[in-house]
Amino acid sequence: MAKTAWAAFPHDAKNFQYGGDALKKAWPKLHAGDCEPYPDDKRAAALIKAAGKAAPKGLDAAALASALQEAWRAFHRGDFKAAFEAGEALGPVGASVATKAMGIHATYLVDGDAEKLKRFEQAAKLAEAAIKALPDEANSHYRHAFALGRYSQGLSIAKALKQGIAGKVRESLDTALELAPKHAEAHTALALYHAEIIGKIGSMIGGLTYGAKAAEADSHIKTALKLTPDSPIAHIEHGNILMLLHGDKQEDAAAAAYEKAAKLKPADAMEALDAAYAKEQIE
């Protein structure tokens, strides 16, 4: 990754620093969408034990907790490169922050399609290693689904379906929700899964072949909005889902969802990027 430029976060990050105890205090709000547990010493010790041989060498629980907190601080303030590198250096126990940092950066701050695909592919591989080492962590599975889902969006629908990506995404999302039923981002992603398949190949074939249902898309996005009403991405994807399922008939409702996303006050760099994207779409 060293040779590839990491474009800097383009907005003011002064409200997203979360130094010292501020991170722990803000954590429930910052991670309402992904249910990531706060990395204190107890959590770090549990990760070391669960990861076994895949745990980072030479770090005790306190050192791992501190390293994870620093990686997440970097993520929340928009220093995605530092967050990715710090997470990647910790192996599977740092994969959650590494894949999220790489995925959000690639979504918004990488221009070239080929480079985006390469990064989503790399993020998916990191998540695969996390699934092997930490199969009981909801975010091992969710990050895998997120990276693969974004990767498939860069391919033609025929190519994505031929590679069997839809089934892998579905499996990872189902597992994530079994482990964390209130994982709002997984609900959003599963809603999008149903809507994208129906939007691209139709409800009949989508339903018969992939179990895609408009009612499921509707149900999952409603759950996500209920769990995280202040999350810009939940409203953005709500707008996208309305367009995928209903097209022009729901254009006004989709625009209203984008407007809602654009007006929300971001809690961190990721939400600032989400809100800025929503604003661009309606201008």
pLDDT over threshold 90, residue 252? yes
Q: Please name the amino acid found at residue 196.
A: E
Residue-level pLDDT at 197: 87
Non-local (6+) Cβ contacts of 30 within 8 A are 18, 23, 76, 267, 268
Query: The whole model's pTM is what?
Result: 0.95
pLDDT over threshold 90, residue 153? no
pLDDT over threshold 90, residue 1? no
Domains of the chain in start order, with CATH, are: 19-181 (1.25.40.10), 183-274 (1.25.40)
**Separation of alpha carbons 16 and 62, rounded Å:** 24
Listed residue (159, 162, 185, 161) closest to 172, CA to CA: 185
**Separation of alpha carbons 265 and 247, rounded Å:** 28
Listed residue (59, 155, 47) closest to 96, CA to CA: 47
**Separation of alpha carbons 95 and 31, rounded Å:** 16
Mean pLDDT of 48-76: 97
- Summarised one tens digit per residue, pLDDT across range 231-244 is 999 999 999 999 99
- Percent of the chain with pLDDT strictly greater than 90: 86
Residue-level pLDDT at 3: 53
Burial of 53 (0-12, 13-18, 19+ CB in 10 A): exposed
Is the separation of the CB atoms in 223 and 240 below 8 Å?
no
